[in-house]
Amino acid sequence: MQQKIGVIGIGMVGAPVARYFEEIRGLKRKEGLFLFDTDPKKNFSDDINQADIVFVSVPTPPASDGSSDLSALESVFKKLVENKIVVIKSTVPPGTTENFQKKYRMHKILFNPEFLDAKFNWEQFIKPNRQIIGSTAESEDVSGLILSLLPDAPFKSEIGATEAELVKYASNVHYARKVNLVNVIASLAEKLGANYADIRQAMAADYRIGNSHLDPNFGGYRGFGGHCLPKDTLALIASLEAAGLREEADLIKKDYDYNGKLLKEQGLTWEDIRIK
Ligand SMILES: NC(=O)c1ccc[n+]([C@@H]2O[C@H](COP(=O)([O-])OP(=O)(O)OC[C@H]3O[C@@H](n4cnc5c(N)ncnc54)[C@H](O)[C@@H]3O)[C@@H](O)[C@H]2O)c1
């Protein structure tokens, strides 16, 4: 019998998940596919508890201390009954999946990081360059099943949930730091009357650096922005502080503050660049 799939949180990440299961895997709404979102305008109010496997992509915004606000995720777990396979796609701090697994023992809980860009969410969801499934001891036996249900990727990996959560932060904070470095080099080039475009092209030719995040004016302003990089940088700082890694937290905080300085110089606030 085919597994029934649920998707909770039909936004930038959840919408392509839902579309994939409907269009590519041919599941019929309310028979094999159940969609739920709290936004009444989106009109997704299927009975999610009819699903066996539930993908969750609800927001995890910064709390007042910079850590992730997991209240939407918590409310999802409160809603789910019986024994389900729950795949968290929301970006969550390292240790979150294990914590939910301890709290909601009836489910098998996994973490599947999503790496898509807001602009190309469908294209990148169906053609990912990596597909990573993070599991707990309780959910390890269904990790292969989840991997087999998702779009294929040249790099596939079944690892621990905490490792998978860290991969997501490592990636986004790496991009944020790269943008900072590029701004440092572009500022120095400007002072010296050097052409940053020439430097950028030559840097991109190094396969260890690559072409992405080398434009200091990406999005029309200097610095990193968008939906995820600022929030995930803050969340990593909070995780480092919680782990007692103060110097490491300070290092990443410098990145966050440097970006804040760049924005301020342009008359922008963090709120201005949070727009997707
Ligand atoms: N946007 C990206 O490019 C991207 C990429 C990778 C990971 N993520 C992560 O994925 C998660 C979701 O991000 P997004 O960009 O899709 O957000 P989004 O705001 O586009 O979508 C989230 C959806 O969840 C709904 N929602 C909120 N609370 C809910 C609840 N309790 N139950 C059901 N639905 C609820 C909202 O109405 C909204 O439709 C975040 O953790 C984000 O960090 C985002």
- What average pLDDT does the segment 88-116 reach? 98
Name the residue of 7, 8, 10, 13 whose CB sits within 8 Å of the most ligand 1 atoms, as the mutation to test its pocket: 13
Distance of CA 112 from the midpoint of ligand 1 (Å): 14
Nearest residue by C-alpha to atom 36 in ligand 1: 9
- Residue 66 vs residue 124, higher pLDDT: 124
Structure tokens at 26: 């041919």
Q: What is the pLDDT of residue 1?
A: 54
Q: Which residues does a 6 A CB cutoff place in the pocket of ligand 1?
A: 8-14, 36-39, 42, 57-60, 72, 75-76, 89-91, 114, 116, 118, 227-228
Give the per-residue pLDDT at 269: 93
State the closest ligand 1 atom to the C-alpha of 121, by its place in the atom list counted from 1.
3
CA distance 186 to 196: 6
Counting from 1 in the atom list of ligand 1, the atom nearest the Cα of 42 is: 39
For the four alpha carbons of 263, 265, 268 and 269, in that order, the dihedral sign comes to: positive
Backbone angles phi, psi at 3, to 5 degrees: -70, 140
- 79-101 per-position pLDDT tens digit: 999 999 999 999 999 999 999 99
- Mutate which of 17, 38, 47, 70 for ligand 1? The one with the most ligand atoms within 8 Å of its CB, which is 38
pLDDT at 153: 98
pLDDT score for 181: 98
What number of CA atoms fall less than 13 Å from residue 204's CA on the CB side?
11
Q: Which atom of ligand 1 is nearest to the CA of 9?
A: 24
State residue 275's pLDDT score: 58
The protein residue with its alpha carbon nearest to ligand 1, atom 25, reads 9
What mean pLDDT is predicted for residues 261-268? 96
Pairing of strands 108-111, 130-135: antiparallel
Q: Best of 58, 76, 90, 228 to mutate for ligand 1, by most ligand atoms within 8 A of CB?
A: 58
Catalytic residues: 228
DSSP 15-63: HHHHHIIIIIS-PPBTTTEEEE-S-GGG--B--GGG-SEEEE-----B-
Mean pLDDT on 244-267: 97
| Span from the CA of 7 to the centroid of ligand 1 (angstroms) | 11
Contact between 153 and 130 under an 8 Å Cβ cutoff? The reply is yes
pLDDT of residue 117: 86
- Give me the percent of the chain exceeding a pLDDT of 70: 99
pLDDT band at 276 (very low <50, low <70, confident <90, very high): very low
Confidence of residue 186 (pLDDT cuts 50, 70, 90): very high
Structure tokens at 168: 């997501």
pLDDT of 104 higher than 60: yes
Mean of the per-residue pLDDT values for the chain?
Answer: 96
Identify the pLDDT of residue 274: 80
Closest CA to ligand 1's atom 24: 9
Q: What is the rounded radius of gyration, in angstroms, for the C-alpha atoms of the chain?
A: 20
Percent share of the chain, pLDDT over 90: 95
Compute the distance from residue 262 Cα to the ligand 1 centre, in Å: 28
The pLDDT of 9-34, averaged and rounded, is: 98
Q: Are 151 and 128 in contact (CB under 8 A)?
A: yes
* Distance between CA atoms of residues 260 and 269, nearest Å: 8
Ligand 1 atom 6 nearest Cα: 114
The pair phi, psi for residue 216, each rounded to 5°, is: -70, -15
Q: How confident is the model at residue 227 (pLDDT cuts 50, 70, 90)?
A: confident
CB 146 within 8 A of CB 203: no
Q: Which domains does the chain have, with CATH numbers?
A: 5-160 (3.40.50.720), 167-274 (1.10.1040.10)
Residue type, 215: D
* Model confidence band, residue 122 (pLDDT cutoffs 50, 70, 90): very high
CA dist., res. 75 & res. 70, Å (int): 9
Would you place residue 119 in the very low, low, confident or very high pLDDT band (cuts 50, 70, 90)? Answer: confident
pLDDT digits (tens, 9 = 90+) for 126-158: 999 999 999 999 999 999 999 999 999 999 999
What pLDDT band is residue 34 in, cutting at 50, 70 and 90? Answer: very high
